[in-house]
Amino acid sequence: MAIRLQTPPGAPFAFEISVDVRGPRSFLVAEPGQEARRYELHQPEQPDYLDLFEALARDVGTRVPLARTPPPPRHGAPPLRPLLTEAVAPEILYGYGDPCVVRVGEGEWRLLVTSNDAPNAFPILASSDLSTWRLTGFVFPEGRTPAWALTGPGQADFWAPEMHRVGDEYWLCFTARMQDRSLAIGLARSGSPDGPFVADDAPIVTGDVIDAHILVDARGAPWLVWKKDDNGVWPRKLAALLHREPAWVSELFAAREDQRTAVLALTLWPWAETLEPMEQFFVLQPLIEAATAEFTRFAGRIEGLRARAGGAEAEELAAISRALRTRIHAQRLSADGRELVGEPAVILENDQPWEAHLIEGVWITQEGGRYHLLYAGNDFSTAHYGIGAAVADAPTGPYRKSSEVLVSSSAEWWGPGHPSVAIGPDGRHHVFLHAFRPGVAGYKAFRALLAAPIRFEGGVVSLDRSV
């Protein structure tokens, strides 16, 4: 069956697109008066869509995907040490994304990682030296995932598990999709770092939220930190709005390649809105990159257009404007961790040029009477992803960000992100993070586990280059 799509009148450019959704998808793309070109999509996965959009950039002048471009040149690369670059067991399908490394005893560490839609959720690996690792099990073996969580290939998303010792228990926070496909945060507990873990009957936070972190403050009180995933909301709203108001493309995008990219996205939107969340992200990623190429200016154009628009359009533009700011929240947990106490506080949001439209993956370390916060920013599936730092005197801030990126892509490793911190065998703090091999960044692509010594001194976070 072929779905035929045509750019609505009023856009600065026009496309005619036919999407064949029988078996492997194929696309026929034409501009008025020109012969259509055929593009095959072997699988509905991110690398296949990157191939498609790279070919379209060459043929019709849209934006080249950032995942297919190397990182900017830089000097003074951090001393990142690869710890895991291959799967230690066949059940680990996607590597070591969003790594949580915790010390669980003298000379004992555990590693938990994202598992996406793998049958066994959240691998647990053990090490006595941070160099040699063995798989000890899974937080949720196949058939034992929480009842509220969506499962199954191409549908489930089990992301960013974190384990922390709280009292006599190990508390584990994680992200999963609910049955309605929205993202939520759950909690589970065990008396052992190797499980078995028992999850709460319902999520503790709902409403498209991800990347939970547990902090036990200086007084011993537990806090839950999480990200509101609004950066997953505004691209859909923008594509739908531009489909109805295609003339706005010229007002929101300055570069010709970005205008053509936006027109392609709005033309595809009636089909794209029917897709599963992650595939929809793959389709809209070029639009996201066009909008964030000059993020501050784009956000200003949205606000300027909102001020001139009226009625429902002004409200939709205001919602997009709000969602362009990614906010990190923190809220007290009850002593037993079964409920949240008080009101959530916004402790961080994207306001640095390198972060573009999002921040995520927070980890907070107490040291020297301060709370040192590490976080990731920009698009995880490109070489523009990196790690930043901030510091505060209280769990809820205010946090003062460092002006420079702490860890960014190199020629050897792309997209370093989602940090965790633990004391290593040498007695120093180490930051642990994931990264891709050059040119293979993306959802479900294999991510390696890397580490580097780190310092927290005088309110400044820095990588420790001393021997």
What is the residue-averaged pLDDT of the chain? Answer: 95
Write down all domains in the chain, each with its CATH number in brackets: 2-70+232-323 (no CATH), 81-229+326-463 (2.115.10.20)
In tens, the pLDDT along 108-123 reads 999 999 999 999 999 9
Confidence of residue 24 (pLDDT cuts 50, 70, 90): confident
Classify residue 109 as exposed, middle or buried by CB count within 10 Å of its CB (0-12, 13-18, 19+): buried
DSSP 243: H
In tens, the pLDDT along 427-443 reads 999 999 999 999 888 99
Mean predicted confidence (pLDDT) in 11-32? 94
Contact 213, 187 (CB under 8 A): no
Residue 114's nearest CA partner among 366, 331, 359, 380 is 380
The partner residues of 125 in beta bridges, in order of sequence, read 111, 135
Alpha carbons 14 and 260: distance in angstroms, whole number: 9
Mean predicted confidence (pLDDT) in 176-200? 97
In tens, the pLDDT along 220-252 reads 999 999 999 998 899 999 999 999 999 999 999
- How many degrees, rounded to 5, is the angle at CA 45 between CA 328 and CA 94? 65
**C-alpha 2, offset from chain centre:** 32
Quick one: pLDDT at residue 90?
A: 96
The partner residues of 406 in beta bridges, in order of sequence, read none
* pLDDT higher than 80, residue 202: yes
Q: Whole-prediction pTM value?
A: 0.95
* pLDDT higher than 70, residue 467: no
Residue 188's nearest CA partner among 219, 218, 163 is 163
Question: Within the chain, what is the greatest distance between any pair of CA atoms?
Answer: 71
Alpha carbons 462 and 333: distance in angstroms, whole number: 30
Q: C-alpha dihedral over 185, 105, 216, 132, to 10 degrees?
A: -50
In tens, the pLDDT along 311-357 reads 899 999 999 999 999 999 999 999 999 999 999 999 999 999 999 99
Quick one: pLDDT at residue 184?
A: 98
Classify residue 270 as exposed, middle or buried by CB count within 10 Å of its CB (0-12, 13-18, 19+): middle
Compare 23 and 389 and report the one with higher pLDDT: 389
**C-alpha 365, offset from chain centre:** 21
